[in-house]
Structure 1
Amino acid sequence: MDIGIDGRIDAGATVNVGAVQNDTLRSARFRLEREAHWRQLDQLVTRAEKGGAAALGYDEVRNLAAGYRQAMNSLSVARDISLDRALIAYLESLCARAYLVVYAPQESLGGLAARLLLRGIPQAVRRSALPLFIGFLALILGALAGYKLCQNDPSWFYTFVPPELADQRTPDASADYLRSTIYGDEGHDSDRLAAFSAFLFSHNTTIVILIFTLGIFVSVPSFMLTFYNGLILGAFFAMFARKGLGYDVFAWLSIHGVTELAAIAIACSGGARLGLAVLLPGARTRKEALRHQAHDAVKLALLAALMLVVAAFIEGFLRQLIQDPAWRLAIGWGMGLFWVGWLLLGGRQGKASREVAR
């Protein structure tokens, strides 16, 4: 208590001191009655955080759930009766940690990636028949148009193909020079091949990102950009075919192009899903439709990125090292069969699984 200048006792100070003492005693009593349960919950949560919920036994998991409910009740009471802040902060932290253990998905990064590869991506592809049709249609129409135009008039090649991409491979080049670009020794040095592979991956990734992100504008820009890539492909093939190198360039393109071109078409499909959500939202609002379609669209974009990694490795290494056209065809279309098999069969439930799901 406080004593004033005139020697009298300050009654207000006495009341405040008494209130503080009462709050302290009440907090101590509250903690004493429940602290053992909090410590047990803290130990279980710590073990689950280190080793996952699988590290706990059945009884421990049951005690964890019961302890979490009890801690939440204690936190509610502590807030209602205004106990000390340190106790409330401790209970808030403990309840938040327990919530994550009880309700958050108990899945490692590796498990999440495996689930995405084994089920998520294949199922998203099978749900995207119309967008995939749009993506591959754009590429095929572009390739046919580019081939037809350049076959009839080689000057179209200069319209479709940028000079830096042509790199002296033009309709004016001789057949021997064009053949040398397919089978010639391009310096099979590991450092050069690695740098070339990294460049190809960066270049192709830029194209795929553009195709995917532009799809939100009612799919038209994605379709046109994919169509343009088809034009370049058709123009190149027509140029080599006119020199009698059609089979050779087909094998040269196949070893990496089956994977790379499919990735471009799939990126267009992902963009088309976003564009169709804006154009044809159905019963949903456009915002809801876009959010709904984005789940599968992102999975298609991840698939395209994965395929580009594989294509960059094949184009940067295997295409330079393998000169036999038969082997180039076998590798390229073998990879195509792998992608088709994985995407068609992955994530399908067996009969027993479907019955259990019911």
Structure 2
Amino acid sequence: MQPASPEPARTADAPAFSTGRFRAEREADWIAFERLLTRLEKRGAKALTSDELLELPLLYRATLSSLSIARATSLDKALLAHLEALSIRGYFLIYGVRETRRSRIRRFVLYDWPAAVRSVWKETVVIAMIILLGALTSYSLVANNSEWYYNFVAEDMAGGRDPRASVEYLQSTLGHGNAAKESESGLHVFATFLFTHNSRVSIMSFALGFAFGVPTMMLEYYQGIGIGAMIAVFAGKGLGFDFGGWLFIHGTTELFAAALSGAAGLRIGAAVVFPGARSRLRAASEAGRTAGKVMVGVIAMLLVAGLLEGFGRQLITDTVLRYAIGSAMLLFWLAYYYIPRREDVA
């Protein structure tokens, strides 16, 4: 029986791998790389000299080499995590596509926002029809029985614009007639109420969309109720055309925004009800990203409507000009949203 051969002795020229030695040899490169990345993140490429820009990819490759060795030799987890995070930062800053804030805003305004609105066009048509149905319902009820008006519009908010008002008073509230200045405060009351009401309902329509879209459709129907009732009062006094101009100058923007907010909420509700092959949570999440882009635009539209209401409608008293401005705004929004962009086609 042969004796077991002795284990080979560890030679002096093959020392054990040492984490401390590995760090001491390479840590200077990691520190230098991290400093350059920090300056690049804060102030951009202009913060680096030409030599530092040339050095940046070399330090990145050196960090990747250190990461590869760290993974192969099972070094401590803290060092491994640090090198992985540093490598990811370096990749995105050196090779990733970086957009300036101005470029991102430009992309959103020119492409992302209109594309999101176009994607919910079916929901927009549905909500627009619901708003119209609400207006037609209240209009027909008030036109046949004026007492219905007080169920749709609060008396303190109507500011005297009710079936009991005279033609002269109603005309003055629209910025016409000798009593226009006297009723200007009343005009502001109803205008503020209408804008605040529509804005609040628009935001709630979106926020409650997750409940299968039912509250969204109910709120949008309610949105049209007050408008239809008020039109019935003015039309009954022979002032329907004038009231339409008073409402039209800002209403095309404001009601368009209301329809879009409802469409955004309805998109989420439809995704919850009909998720398809996806889970309901995932379907709602994907719909929410599109709806969120639409709602950012809705806020901008409401701001524009507020400016038209606060200044344009008060300064412009000619009814035909009011219709012209409202029509121009409607055509602008339709063209802005629904004419495809070159990048969209590509």
Distance 1:311 1:89, change over 3 A: same
Distance 1:122 1:27, change over 3 A: closer
Q: Given residue 142 of structure 2, which amino acid in structure 1 is its aligned partner?
A: C
Task: Name the residue aligned to 1:133.
Answer: 125
The question of whether the paired residues in 2 share the 8 Å contact of 1:258 and 1:333 is answered with yes
Distance 2:84 2:206 in 1: 43
The number of aligned residues is: 323
CA-CA distance at 1:176 after TM superposition? 1.0
Does 2:275 match 1:281? yes
SS across alignment from 1:155: helix
Distance 2:85 2:244 in 1: 63
The question of whether the paired residues in 1 share the 8 Å contact of 2:220 and 2:262 is answered with yes
Q: Indicate the larger mover: 157-166 or 128-137.
A: 157-166
Task: Name the residue aligned to 1:310.
Answer: 304
Aligned with 1:28 (options 24, 30, 34)? 24
Task: Name the residue aligned to 1:336.
Answer: 330
Distance 1:188 1:235 in 2: 21
SS across alignment from 1:230: helix
Q: Give a deviation string over 1:153-180, Cα, whole Å, max 9, x none.
A: 1111111112333122111111111111
SS across alignment from 1:107: coil
Distance 2:245 2:307 in 1: 17
CA-CA distance at 1:123 after TM superposition? 1.0
Distance 2:42 2:197 in 1: 42
CA-CA distance at 1:104 after TM superposition? 5.7
Task: Name the residue aligned to 2:151.
Answer: 159
Task: Name the residue aligned to 2:259.
Answer: 265
Distance 1:55 1:347 in 2: 36
Distance 1:276 1:89, change over 3 A: closer
- Structure 1 unaligned blocks of 5 or more: 1-21
Distance 1:82 1:283 in 2: 43
Kindly report the root-mean-square deviation, in angstroms, between the aligned alpha carbons of the 2 structures: 3.5
CA-CA distance at 1:96 after TM superposition? 5.5
Q: Given residue 292 of structure 2, which amino acid in structure 1 is its aligned partner?
A: V
The question of whether the paired residues in 2 share the 8 Å contact of 1:143 and 1:231 is answered with yes
SS across alignment from 2:341: coil
Distance 2:325 2:147 in 1: 33
The question of whether the paired residues in 2 share the 8 Å contact of 1:270 and 1:301 is answered with yes
The question of whether the paired residues in 1 share the 8 Å contact of 2:172 and 2:183 is answered with no
Distance 1:196 1:146 in 2: 18
- Structure 2 unaligned blocks of 5 or more: 1-17
The question of whether the paired residues in 2 share the 8 Å contact of 1:178 and 1:240 is answered with yes
1:1-358 alignment runs, 5 A limit = 27-31=23-27, 35-36=28-29, 39=32, 41-42=33-34, 44-46=36-38, 48-52=40-44, 64-65=56-57, 67-75=59-67, 77=69, 80=73, 82=75, 94-95=86-87, 97-102=89-94, 106-183=98-175, 184-185=180-181, 203-345=197-339, 347-349=341-343, 354=346
Distance 2:163 2:284 in 1: 45
Q: Give a deviation string over 1:100-123, Cα, whole Å, max 9, x none.
A: 414665123322221111001111
The question of whether the paired residues in 2 share the 8 Å contact of 1:188 and 1:321 is answered with no
Q: Indicate the larger mover: 219-228 or 22-31.
A: 22-31
Per the normalisation by structure 2, the TM-score is 0.80
Seq. identity, %: 39
Q: Give a deviation string over 1:47-70, Cα, whole Å, max 9, x none.
A: 532454698899987864553243
CA-CA distance at 1:296 after TM superposition? 1.5
SS across alignment from 2:124: helix
SS across alignment from 2:208: helix
Distance 1:93 1:196, change over 3 A: farther
Distance 2:213 2:285 in 1: 16
The question of whether the paired residues in 1 share the 8 Å contact of 2:143 and 2:233 is answered with yes
Distance 1:62 1:218 in 2: 56
Distance 1:224 1:232 in 2: 14
CA-CA distance at 1:349 after TM superposition? 3.3
Q: Given residue 139 of structure 1, which amino acid in structure 2 is its aligned partner?
A: I
Q: Given residue 205 of structure 1, which amino acid in structure 2 is its aligned partner?
A: S
Distance 1:155 1:305, change over 3 A: same
CA-CA distance at 1:265 after TM superposition? 0.9
Q: Given residue 291 of structure 1, which amino acid in structure 2 is its aligned partner?
A: S
Q: Given residue 322 of structure 2, which amino acid in structure 1 is its aligned partner?
A: R
Distance 1:292 1:89 in 2: 31
Distance 1:218 1:91 in 2: 46
Distance 1:293 1:23 in 2: 49
Distance 1:168 1:345 in 2: 43
The question of whether the paired residues in 2 share the 8 Å contact of 1:259 and 1:311 is answered with yes
